[in-house]
């Protein structure tokens, strides 16, 4: 854990891209913790369990064995041994994940798994509560964010590339709703740790953001 780097921030701030690139530059692995919550949400959806139903979700925690493996630099997420990486990015899974990640039992289970993975190797961990909870004693913590409008613009570009057209205002409203849900939940909300360095990517390229983080790590 000594060497781990915690990167938190809201959806769409470029956190994943920055964390992945930072890990590549540093020559260490990257852990996308959102993918682990997403795999659990996928399992709940497949089993017909409502992600909001805390007791039903708690009862499947022992059945859904979530792990990660690396193919080169690429994280693959496994659900009961099955590689489910490609199924994790759908809108249905995104919304279900925001719901399922509110439950205390879920968060405690995932945080435990994430700590175990971080004990085995130096890692860049990316999520919402890494600096405040999972690795609250990490030596390097960053909070990567961008304005909601800029995040919506980036999301629209991504969707355009996928051939999906969506109204800017709808995308913006979704982002604001997800921010509210992630920051407003009672247990371990999305929050900047007091000792996390703020990286605002609204006017920064990925390379500039990575460089800013790298400088802080090397200078620390
Ligand atoms: O980073 P992401 O978009 O893949 O995250 C999906 C959802 O999971 C998001 O709504 C917040 C939640 N999440 C969380 O609560 N804690 C984490 N460490 C990672 C993700």
Bridging pattern class, strands 82-83 and 74-79? antiparallel
pLDDT score at 124: 97
56-66 pLDDT tens trace: 999 999 999 99
State if residue 129 touches ligand 1 by the CB under 6 angstroms criterion.
Answer: yes
pLDDT score at 1: 55
pLDDT score at 18: 96
pLDDT score at 211: 96
Q: For residue 196, give the DSSP letter.
A: P
C-alpha 126 to ligand 1 mean position (Å): 9
The C-alpha atoms of residue 8 and residue 135 are separated, in whole angstroms, by 11
Q: For a substitution probing ligand 1, which of 12, 37, 109 has the most ligand atoms within 8 Å of its CB?
A: 37
Q: For a substitution probing ligand 1, which of 4, 6, 17, 34 has the most ligand atoms within 8 Å of its CB?
A: 34
The number of residues in the chain equals 220
- What stretches in the chain show pLDDT beneath 50? none
The C-alpha atoms of residue 101 and residue 129 are separated, in whole angstroms, by 11
Tokens representing residue 155 in the block: 């999301």
CA 197 to chain centre: 17
The C-alpha atoms of residue 216 and residue 220 are separated, in whole angstroms, by 6
State if residue 11 touches ligand 1 by the CB under 6 angstroms criterion.
Answer: yes
141-171 pLDDT tens trace: 999 999 999 999 998 998 899 898 899 999 9
pLDDT score at 83: 98
The C-alpha atoms of residue 163 and residue 22 are separated, in whole angstroms, by 29
The C-alpha atoms of residue 31 and residue 204 are separated, in whole angstroms, by 23
| 92 exposure class (CB count in 10 Å sphere: 0-12, 13-18, 19+) | exposed
Q: Are 100 and 51 in contact (CB under 8 A)?
A: yes
Residue 129 alpha carbon, nearest atom of ligand 1: 18
State if residue 99 touches ligand 1 by the CB under 6 angstroms criterion.
Answer: no
pLDDT score at 95: 87
Q: Is the dihedral of CA 117, 121, 126, 130 positive or negative?
A: positive
Question: Which residue owns the Cα nearest ligand 1 atom 20?
Answer: 34
- In the chain, count of helices (H) and strands (E)? 8, 8
pLDDT score at 87: 96
pLDDT score at 149: 96
């Amino acid at each position: 854990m000594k060497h781990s780097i915690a990167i938190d921030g809201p959806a769409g701030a470029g956190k994943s891209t920055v964390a992945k690139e930072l890990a590549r530059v540093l020559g260490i692995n990257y852990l996308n913790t959102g993918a682990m919550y997403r795999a659990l949400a996928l399992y709940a959806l497949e089993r017909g369990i409502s992600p909001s139903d805390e007791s039903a979700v708690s009862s499947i925690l022992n059945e859904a064995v979530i792990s990660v493996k690396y193919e080169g630099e690429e994280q693959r997420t496994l659900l009961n041994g099955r590689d489910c990486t490609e199924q994790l990015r759908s809108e249905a899974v995104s919304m279900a994940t925001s719901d399922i990640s509110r439950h205390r039992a879920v968060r405690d289970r995932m945080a435990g798994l994430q700590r175990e993975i971080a004990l085995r190797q130096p890692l860049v961990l990316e999520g919402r509560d890494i600096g405040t909870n999972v690795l609250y004693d990490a030596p390097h913590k960053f909070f990567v964010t961008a304005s909601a409008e800029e995040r919506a613009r980036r999301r629209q570009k991504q969707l355009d590339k996928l051939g999906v057209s969506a109204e800017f205002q709808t995308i913006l409203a979704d982002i604001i709703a997800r921010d509210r849900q992630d920051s407003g939940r009672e247990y371990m909300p999305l929050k900047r740790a007091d000792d996390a360095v703020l990286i605002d990517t609204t006017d920064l390229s990925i390379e500039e953001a990575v460089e800013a983080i790298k400088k802080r790590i090397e200078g620390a």
